[in-house]
């Protein structure tokens, strides 16, 4: 029984939150890695564009709610997603046209692109502030729990409860569906193959008659979709605060680099790796240990927490540093250094 | 760098013209009172002082970007770590804090460093990943075993007023140098890891170190009281209240026809300004001499063509590390100066948008690669950034004047302050595209 209780605590506080967070990071890292693969720069505006897309989703959700539209038990935000993706895609295509295309024509150094993306980040940040302000917004509705603590206790008779929030389940399911669709697109369709070819070798792709501008446009549209979905899921799961979307940039980059920049499969693995390490390192293990090893007394006030929650970003940073030190191309083969 | 930035020559009058424009702007701010300017010398000098500090930060960033093409996205972190120096060096010692856990704390920090060094030695000697991991994990628990009780003891020491380790009680000006050293140490650690790899990696790694330094300042209460802030940092200049009590000063103020309160504020700000100018000019002199020396020519050669420079036998990664450390040290000095000026270390105020990216706008607009450009750009952008807070809403108010009152108008008026971000982003993008050499281009 004790082992089971320990397992339930572990699932409830470590596994489920980390899986949901990992799915969100993976979607974000997929976007970063795709842009890196095709456009060959690290997009610093990624987090703030996610925030912008999510802000549109929130506004649309509020509009739908005011109209009385609802798809209970699912959150209304899902209905708002397609339009928000379309709007964000238009915006990023516009940014590409206005900003990045010029440097692409010039064949500017990657660092110039990075710098331009910082300018875009500033603008996106301002746009998000203009749209929705800097305060925290909640926009989740629909059923709150798939399994709540009480039902779980009554069902199993265990002392510990397990809660599975519907947003968490939704995150994992939706993220999985998106990933399957993306891989199907990349591996099975003509356009997807063109994208991979372009990413592998630009010159050869040009020789085979692939239109580079079309590949770039496709990339931005897909990236916009990934950004809005990742941002919305993150917002539904945690709550929306624009600054958090700037901060999530670091774990997303860490995830993309761990997996190997430019490698979509690596981005997914990296997202989950970063999320699980972050949660595992900052979780106070004392209750789990109490069940699994009841003879061990950690002493009064010892939470058995390796690192305070405030330092969760340090975890992604350390992972990043370790990868840079020992395997700069990432765990899966990414683009060469 | 693929782009060769030593393009066509530009007018030698650009820098003096920008300087003249700046002078006019500040005189207007000091003398004219209307919707656009405050007409107070106190405000004008306050903007100028912060502008001078920004100029020093911009000089540091310009060394990294302009000389070497390194993109540092963690400016805020280097500023913050420099700001720690006045607290640790110049505050009076906290009674009882050292006895509570000082030696144990120092020991734990030494052990922490020792563990990292041991891991490095183990790795170079045996190249076994698991052995390194073992050393690191055992070292981490040893470190926490020493560190945690020391922290608890220090934080329990008079927590309402102190709860931190306290300072050494040394003169505040020494802390500026120490701030530079702190930032240099952080830069060494991060540069060692991220330099020599793909250029984006340094950007991402500095983004991380920036966030982590700020998180440490926010959460380690034993260090600088965390979010409770450290106030009453000693000043290198006179206090307004002392000046106001001084009869000689009152007479002096009357001679200028100013109220004593206003005159004392101006006096203090002028003293700060002179100090900052001395530092700025000293760093400027050194930077210009370095840039014109063989070392400076080598740096620019590396920036313009790494492969060619490497073929000439230059150690590219080593030079990059050197200039990255130097630039960060300058940023750290500015960080210490900023905390001195504010008299306060408030970790929550270190916002990357304000401290990292605004500095970047300053450098790019001013003219990357040109020290004068960076300085003038910094003061100009800082002035505009502060004034945009006033001008933005005024502009929106003017534009929305004919609109009917309603939620849209209210929303626009309310969000006018956020326009600054869009404006700064747009300025950065426009300059980067249409005038990539900036206001005062590199010679």
Q: What is the CATH number of the domain that holds B231?
A: 1.10.3470
Same domain, B31 and B114: no
Backbone dihedral angles phi then psi of residue B345, each to the nearest 5 degrees? -110, 110
DSSP summary character for residue B67:
I
Residue B442 in any domain: the answer is: no
Q: What part of B 191-250 touches A (C-beta under 8 Å)?
A: 193-194, 197-201, 203-205, 207-209, 211-212, 215, 218-219
Beta bridge partners, B250, equal none
Q: Assess whether B323 and B418 both reside in one domain.
A: yes
Tens digits of residue pLDDT in A122-152: 899 989 988 888 888 888 887 788 888 888 8
Q: For residue A39, what are the CA distances in angstroms to A88, A182, B109?
A: 18, 18, 43
Domain assignment of residue B4, yes or no? no
Categorize the per-residue pLDDT at A176 as very low, low, confident or very high, splitting at 50, 70 and 90: very high
Q: How high is the ipTM of this complex?
A: 0.87
Query: In this complex, do A320 and B204 lie within 8 Å of one another by their Cβ atoms?
Result: yes
Q: What is the pTM of this model?
A: 0.89
Residues B295, B411 within the same domain: yes
| B395 inside domain | yes
Range of the domain at B119: 94-165
Give a yes or no: residue B3 inside a domain.
Answer: no
CA distance A274 to chain B (A): 14
Co-location of B100 and B86 in the same domain: no
Is residue A112 predicted with pLDDT exceeding 80? Answer: yes
Q: Do B145 and B102 belong to one domain?
A: yes
Asked if B422 and A102 come within 8 Å (Cβ–Cβ), the reply is no
Whole-number pLDDT of residue B276: 96
> B256 pLDDT exceeds 50?
yes
Q: Is residue A333 part of a domain?
A: no
Digit-coded pLDDT (tens) for A314-335: 899 889 888 888 888 888 876 6
Q: How many domains does chain B have?
A: 2
In a domain, B443, yes or no: no
> For the segment B4-42, what is each residue's pLDDT rounded down to a tens digit?
444 556 778 888 999 999 999 999 988 888 878 888 888
Residues B48 and B85 both lie in one domain: yes
Say which residues have a Cβ less than 8 Å from residue A111's Cβ, sequence separation at least 6: B1, B69, B71, B199, B200, B203
User: Residue B247: pLDDT above 70?
Assistant: yes
Q: Is B196 exposed, middle or buried (0-12, 13-18, 19+ CB in 10 A)?
A: middle
Does residue B271 share a domain with residue B134?
no
Please name the member of A114, A310, A311 whose beta carbon is closest to the beta carbon of B203: A114
Residue A255 placed within a domain: yes
Contacts of B418 in chain A (CB under 8 A): 126, 129-130, 133-134
CATH code at position A63: 1.10.3470
Same domain, B18 and B159: no
Give me the mean pLDDT over the A202-230 stretch: 93
* Contact state of A118 with B360 under an 8 Å Cβ cutoff: yes
Q: Are B443 and B368 in contact (CB under 8 A)?
A: no
Q: Which of A48, A91, A107, A119 to mutate to test the interface with B (most CBs of B within 10 A)?
A: A119
Does residue A306 have a pLDDT over 90? Answer: no
Shared domain check, B156 and B28 = no
pLDDT digits 0-9 by tens, B414-432: 777 778 888 888 989 999 8
* B112 and B235 together in one domain: no
The pLDDT, as a whole number, for residue A261 is: 87
**Is there a cis peptide before residue A73, judged by omega within 30 degrees of 0?**
yes
Distance of CA A18 to the CA centre of its chain: 12
Mean pLDDT value across chain A: 89
Cβ distance of B421 and A325 shorter than 8 Å:
no
Residues 6+ apart with CB under 8 A from B40: B29, B30, B33
Residue B310 lies in a domain: yes
Question: What is the domain extent for residue A80?
Answer: 2-326
Q: Look up residue A74 and give its DSSP letter.
A: B
What is d(CA A63, CA A57) in angstroms, rounded to the nearest whole number?
10
CB pairs under 8 A between A and B: 142
Do B260 and B128 share a structural domain?
A: no
* Inside any domain, residue B122: yes
User: Mean pLDDT throughout A296-307?
Assistant: 78
Q: How far apart are CA B415 and CA A292, in angstroms?
A: 53
Residue B93 three-state SS: strand
The DSSP bridge partners found for residue B166 are B93
Give chain B's mean pLDDT.
Answer: 87
Q: CA A201, A118, A22 angle in degrees (round to 5)?
A: 70
Q: Which residue of A has its CA nearest to B133?
A: A322
Q: Residue B33 gets which letter from DSSP? A: B
How is residue A31 written in tokens? 């976007």
Which B-chain residues 127-146 have CB contacts (< 8 A) with chain A?
Answer: 129, 140
Structure tokens at B286: 């050194």
Distance from CA of B232 to the nearest CA of A (A): 27
A247: chain B residues, CB-CB within 8 Å = 211
pLDDT-based confidence at B232, cuts 50/70/90?
Answer: confident
For residues B375 and B364, membership in a common domain is answered with: yes
Q: Give φ, ψ of B5 to 5 degrees.
A: -90, 0
Closest residue in A to B196 (Cα) is A337
Structure-model confidence comparison of residues B161 and A210, the more confident one: A210
Longest dimension (CA), chain B: 77
pLDDT of B6 reads 47
In a domain, residue B5? The reply is: no
Number of domains in chain A: 1
């Amino acid at each position: 029984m004790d082992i089971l209780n320990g397992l339930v605590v572990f699932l409830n506080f470590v596994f489920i939150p980390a899986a949901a967070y990992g799915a969100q990071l993976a979607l974000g890292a997929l976007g970063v890695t795709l842009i890196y693969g095709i456009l060959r720069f690290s997009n610093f505006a990624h987090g703030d564009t996610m925030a912008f897309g999510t802000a549109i989703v929130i506004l649309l959700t509020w509009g739908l709610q005011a109209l009385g539209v609802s798809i209970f038990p699912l959150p209304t935000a899902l209905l708002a997603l397609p339009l928000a993706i379309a709007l964000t895609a238009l915006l990023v295509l516009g940014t590409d046209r206005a900003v990045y295309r010029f440097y692409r024509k010039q064949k500017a150094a990657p660092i110039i692109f990075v710098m331009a993306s910082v300018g875009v980040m500033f603008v996106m940040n301002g746009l998000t502030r203009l749209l929705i302000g800097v305060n925290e917004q909640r926009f989740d509705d629909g059923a709150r729990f798939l399994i709540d603590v009480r039902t779980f206790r009554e069902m199993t008779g265990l002392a510990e409860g397990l809660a599975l929030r519907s947003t968490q389940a939704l995150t994992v399911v939706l993220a999985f569906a998106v990933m399957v669709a993306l891989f199907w697109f990349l591996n099975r369709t003509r356009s997807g193959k063109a994208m991979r070819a372009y990413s592998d070798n630009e010159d050869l792709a040009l020789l085979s008659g692939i239109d580079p501008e079309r590949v770039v446009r496709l990339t931005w549209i897909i990236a916009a979709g990934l950004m809005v979905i990742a941002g919305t899921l993150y917002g539904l799961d945690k709550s929306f605060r624009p600054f958090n979307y700037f901060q999530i940039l670091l774990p997303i980059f860490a995830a993309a680099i761990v997996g190997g920049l430019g490698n979509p499969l690596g981005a997914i693995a990296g997202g989950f790796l970063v999320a699980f390490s972050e949660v595992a390192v900052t979780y106070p293990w004392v209750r789990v240990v109490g069940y699994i090893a009841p003879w061990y007394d950690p002493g009064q006030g010892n939470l058995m927490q390796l690192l305070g929650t405030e330092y969760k970003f340090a975890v992604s940073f350390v992972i990043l540093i370790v990868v840079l030190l020992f395997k700069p191309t990432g765990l899966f083969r990414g683009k060469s250094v | 760098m693929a782009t060769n930035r030593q393009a066509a020559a530009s007018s030698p009058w650009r820098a003096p013209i920008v300087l003249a424009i700046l002078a006019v702007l500040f005189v207007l701010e000091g003398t004219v009172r209307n919707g656009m300017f405050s007409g107070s010398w106190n405000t004008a000098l306050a903007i100028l002082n912060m502008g001078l500090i920004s100029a020093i930060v911009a000089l540091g960033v310009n060394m990294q970007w302009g000389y070497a093409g390194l993109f540092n996205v963690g400016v805020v972190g280097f500023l913050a770590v420099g700001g720690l120096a006045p607290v640790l060096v110049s505050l009076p010692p906290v009674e009882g804090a050292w006895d509570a856990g000082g030696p144990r704390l120092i020991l734990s920090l030494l052990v922490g460093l020792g563990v990292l060094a041991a891991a490095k030695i183990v790795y170079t000697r045996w190249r076994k990943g698991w052995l390194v991991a073992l050393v690191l994990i055992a070292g981490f628990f040893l470190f926490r075993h020493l560190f945690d009780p020391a922290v608890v003891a220090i934080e329990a020491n008079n927590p309402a007023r102190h709860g931190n380790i306290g300072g050494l009680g040394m003169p505040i000006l020494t802390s500026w140098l120490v701030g530079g050293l702190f930032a240099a140490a952080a830069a060494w650690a991060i540069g060692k890891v991220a330099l020599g790899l793909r250029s984006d990696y340094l950007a991402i790694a500095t983004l991380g170190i920036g966030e982590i330094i700020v998180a440490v300042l926010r959460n380690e209460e034993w260090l600088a009281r965390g979010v409770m802030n450290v106030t009453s940092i000693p000043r290198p200049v006179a206090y307004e209240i002392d000046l106001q009590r001084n009869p000689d000063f009152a007479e002096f103020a009357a001679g200028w026809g100013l109220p004593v309160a206003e005159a004392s504020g101006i006096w203090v700000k002028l003293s700060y300004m002179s100090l900052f100018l001395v530092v700025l000019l000293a760093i400027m002199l050194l930077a210009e001499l370095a840039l014109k020396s063989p070392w400076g020519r080598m740096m620019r050669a590396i920036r313009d063509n790494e492969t060619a420079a490497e073929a000439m036998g230059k150690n590219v990664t080593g030079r990059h590390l050197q200039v990255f450390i130097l630039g960060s040290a300058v940023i750290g000095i500015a960080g210490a100066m900023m905390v001195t000026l504010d008299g306060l270390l408030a970790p929550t105020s270190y916002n990357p948008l304000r401290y990292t990216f605004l500095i970047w706008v300053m450098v790019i607009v001013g003219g990357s690669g040109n020290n004068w450009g960076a300085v003038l750009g910094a003061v100009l952008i800082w002035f505009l950034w502060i004034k945009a807070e006033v001008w933005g809403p005024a502009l929106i108010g003017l534009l929305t004047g004919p609109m009917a009152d309603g939620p849209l108008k209210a929303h626009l008026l309310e969000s006018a302050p956020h326009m600054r971000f869009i404006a700064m982003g747009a300025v950065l993008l426009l300059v980067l595209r249409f005038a990539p050499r900036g206001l005062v281009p590199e010679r």
